[in-house]
Structure 1
Amino acid sequence: MPDDLWERIAPLLPVRPARRRRYPGRLPVDDRAALRGIVYVLCKSVSWRDVPAEQVGCSGVTAWRRLRDWTEAGVWPQLHEVLLAELRQEGLLEMDDAAIDGSRVRTLKAGLTPDLRRSTVPARAASTTSSSTVV
């Protein structure tokens, strides 16, 4: 994890609650190590259980939990805004040729409900599987 990227992300991360005084449990994994695990999974396209804990500094399950917690805290949209602001400030953001993809936008209530239509068939067809006469 490059230091300059970490300096942008660290202030956006939520503060973890203090450890309990009695029965404190294990020491929490460093946030930077958890972020290394998340980036490892995203870059290598491996499952969470395949994260090398010795190399990354945390298990895949721990990285997954931090990803879940940080997603719920809204860290990623905030990071996106910070990076866009820096690009704008440096003049590196070109919005002249921007494209928006709406395929990921959820439709609310699946759009308009069409009116019920009457059948145009004059009468119901006779059944071909049963007969009313006994042979």
Structure 2
Amino acid sequence: MDLTNEQWSLIEPLLPARKLRREDRPGRTPTPSRALWDGILWILRTGAQWSELPQGKYPPYKTVHRWFQGWVKDGTFHAVLRALALDLKERGGFDLEEGFVDAFFVTVRRATWREALQG
């Protein structure tokens, strides 16, 4: 499930301007920002590793990851997620004030883990 046109219209204005390829310097055509965001959201939705990003449907995983890191570092990622969450709240689907995360984990002593493997 990729971004809808409506969702993209919310995100696009929040993205910093990107350098376009210069005519006097040949090189790769810039990857469209929408394709990068679709790849990022696929990873977040599935919980898969970056290298498992489907080839052909999304840009190369290294490109998507590099842009993700940059957008996290400069605050763009947070702004986009907030805009999407606020849009969802306005449509009655989610309230940021009521959201929470529930996590459960168990730590295991290393010796116990090794004993379990040895049987």
Quickly name the TM-score band, shorter chain normalised.
Answer: 0.5 to 0.7
Distance in 2 between the 1:69 and 1:94 partners? 25
Q: Using structure 1 for the length normalisation, give the TM-score.
A: 0.58
Q: How does 1:71-110 map to 2 (within 5 A)?
A: 71-83=72-84, 86=87, 93=95, 95=97
Q: Which has the larger radius of gyration?
A: 1
- Greater relative contact order, per chain length (Cα 8 Å cut-off, separation 6+): 2
Note the C-alpha offset of 1:94: 7.4
**Which residue identity is paired with 1:10?**
E
User: Aligned match of 1:13 in 4, 8, 15?
Assistant: 15
Whether 2:62 is the aligned partner of 1:54: answer: no
Secondary structure at the aligned position of 2:57 is classed as: helix
Q: 2 CA distance for matches of 1:47 and 1:99?
A: 24
* Structure 1 gaps, min length 5: 101-135
* 2:38 equivalent to 1:40: no
Q: How many residues align?
A: 99
Deviations 1:63-107, CA, capped at 9 Å, x for gaps: 101101211221123234434654676677474x6779xxxxxxx
Q: Could you say if the C-alpha distance between residues 34 and 83 of structure 1 is closer, same or farther in structure 2, counting changes exceeding 3 Å?
A: closer
The percent of aligned pairs where both chains have the same amino acid is: 28
Per-residue CA distance 1:22-77 (angstroms, 9 max, x = gap):
33311011111111111111122221111112122x11111101101211221123
Whether contact under 8 Å (1:14, 1:70) holds in the other structure is no
Structure 1 residues 49, 20: CA separation in 2 closer, same or farther (over 3 Å shift)? same
> Root-mean-square deviation (CA), in Å?
2.8
The aligned amino acid for 1:66 is: W
